[in-house]
């Protein structure tokens, strides 16, 4: 097998593009060697001869898909953390509001009990005063 004429990623098809060159696809800049490193932490040594640094279109398509998937997951994790934090803040606020409502209810109950005691004491005092 002549390794000078095969894709460095699959060793099956002939290379269509160079691993270290800059390309643009759908408005995105791509350097396939950098994408391999960023996506999988695969560091392909770049050979001095350009013909030995190729990648085929099928491997490029798979690499793009993997790279897009990685970026999707990273973005979703950021959004998830934001929603989780926001949700925790809302839950904390609801909990505080419920505690406040319980405190208000408790205060009203205490006020009612106090009024009952005062009314009872007042009634007792009135009865005693009439008897004197």
Residue 23 · residue 30 · CB < 8 Å: yes
Known binding residues for Zn(2+) are: 7, 10, 56, 59
Q: How far is CA 33 from CA 12, 17, 76, in A?
A: 18, 11, 25
51 confidence band (pLDDT: 50, 70, 90): low
Domain that holds residue 89: 3-131
Q: How many CB atoms lie within 10 A of CB 54?
A: 23
Looking at the predicted structure, is the pLDDT value of residue 21 above 90?
yes
Q: How far is CA 13 from CA 9, 23, 47, 63, in A?
A: 9, 20, 18, 15
Condensed to tens digits (0 to 9), the pLDDT of residues 54-89 reads: 999 999 999 999 999 999 999 999 999 888 887 767
Condensed to tens digits (0 to 9), the pLDDT of residues 105-126 reads: 667 777 777 777 677 666 555 5
With a pLDDT cut of 70, the percent of the chain lying above it is: 73
Please name the residue ranges forming H helices in the chain: 32-40, 57-131
Phi, psi dihedral angles at 54 (to 5 degrees): -100, 160
DSSP letter, residue 5: G
What is the number of structural domains in the chain? 1
13 contact partners, CB below 8 Å, separation of at least 6 = 6, 7, 56, 57, 58, 59
Known binding residues are: 7, 10, 56, 59
Buried b (16+ CB within 10 A) or exposed e, 81-104: eeeeeeeeeeeeeeeeeeeeeeee
């Amino acid at each position: 097998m002549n390794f000078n004429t095969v894709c460095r990623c699959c060793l099956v098809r002939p290379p269509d593009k160079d691993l270290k060159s800059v390309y643009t696809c759908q408005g995105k800049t791509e350097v396939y060697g950098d994408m391999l490193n960023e996506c999988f932490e695969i560091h392909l040594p770049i050979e001095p001869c350009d013909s030995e640094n190729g990648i085929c279109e099928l491997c490029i398509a798979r690499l793009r898909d993997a790279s897009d998937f990685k970026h999707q997951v990273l973005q979703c994790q950021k959004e998830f953390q934001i929603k989780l934090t926001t949700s925790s803040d809302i839950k904390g606020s609801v909990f505080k509001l419920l505690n406040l409502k319980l405190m208000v209810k408790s205060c009203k109950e205490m006020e009612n009990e106090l009024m009952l005691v005062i009314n009872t004491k007042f009634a007792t005092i009135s009865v005693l005063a009439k008897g004197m």
